[in-house]
Amino acid sequence: MTDLQGFQNLVALKTAIKAIFVPTMAIILNLETATTNCSVSIAKDGKTIAIKEHDTPNYSHSEQLHIFIQEVLKESSLSLTDVNAIAVSKGPGSYTGLRIGVSAAKGLCFSLDVPLISVSTLKSIASQARESKVDYIIPLLDARRMEVYSRVFDTQLNEIRETKAEIIDDTSFATFLKKGRVKLLGSGAEKCLDVLKSTSIEYDIKSVPSAEEMSQLSYMKFKTADFEDVAYFKPYYLKDFILQQKKKKPSIS
């Protein structure tokens, strides 16, 4: 047996072991705290059976999150011991919001001895537009000034362009606008209204990430045992903004 064959057999064995130990039915607790919307859902096999959320600019997630967890468990007649996995929105997004959600998720995983699943915040937003009659879905989260976090998908949620932190100007997303219709959605989409004049754009500036959309996305990861290392997992803060360099003042000699 060659080294390559041995490696392939090892990979196949690990995959088989994962499949054996992943339950056929999944109860997943989904936590979304990356933005102003504090959102919690309980899902069974990818279907939301209870959800509680509140969107407020005051970022009261630390007070609301655990209350919402108890409320969705009560509504679904379940307890934490029934949960097979915890899913958390991994960012990008608010530093404080992400930290609150990830800390709560990791604490639950440790105490319940269940796996941790991370869900892309931008992919979660994009999934709200899957039925749109467009060619590209571009979720945008407000960063600061004219900056946004963005990522590009097709309508099947396949990634077309990776996540970026970028400054919105009149050339933003020109590559995709030349090829077809584009849906811009999320809190950052409002920054594009007065800058991008293309008639090929559809807007949804009120869309926020929600644990509703996480239900299906987390279940897809659960089925393939796509889990995070609870001890070492960190949110995706994406701090590296594209900054405009300030002109230096001429020195006085």
Question: pLDDT band at 250, cuts 50/70/90?
Answer: very low
What is the structure's pLDDT at 145? Answer: 84
Residue 73 phi/psi, 5-degree rounding, is -65, -45
- How far is residue 9's CA from residue 148's CA, in Å, rounded to a whole number? 44
Q: What angle do CA 136, 141, 145 make, to 5 degrees?
A: 120
pLDDT for 11 beyond 50:
no
| Domains along the sequence of the chain with CATH | 16-121+209-223 (3.30.420.40), 123-204 (3.30.420.40)
Q: What is the pLDDT of residue 40?
A: 98
Percent of the chain with pLDDT over 90: 77
pLDDT in tens, 204-242: 999 999 999 999 999 999 999 999 999 999 999 875 444
Residue 15 has pLDDT above 50, yes or no: no
Using one digit for the tens of pLDDT, what is the confidence trace for 135-189?
A: 999 999 998 888 999 999 999 999 999 999 999 999 999 999 999 999 999 999 9
For 196, how many CA atoms within 13 A lie in the half-sphere containing its CB?
Answer: 27
What is the reported pLDDT for 245?
Answer: 38
Q: What is the mean pLDDT of residues 110-139?
A: 97
Question: Phi then psi for 16, rounded to 5 degrees?
Answer: -65, -40
Of the candidates 245, 244, 238, which has an alpha carbon nearest to the alpha carbon of residue 98? Answer: 238
- Report the distance separating Cα 54 and Cα 107, nearest Å: 22
User: Mean pLDDT, the chain, as a whole number?
Assistant: 88
| Beta-carbon contacts of residue 51 (< 8 Å; ≥ 6 apart) | 39, 40, 41, 42, 72, 210, 211, 212
Q: What is the pLDDT of residues 176-213, one digit of tens each?
A: 999 999 999 999 999 999 999 999 999 999 999 999 99
Asked whether residue 7 carries a pLDDT value surpassing 70, the answer given is no
For the ranges 24-28, 102-106, 132-136, 185-189, the lowest mean pLDDT is seen at 24-28
22 band by pLDDT with thresholds 50, 70 and 90: low
pLDDT at 23 over 80: no
CA–CA separation, 117 vs 139, rounded Å? 21
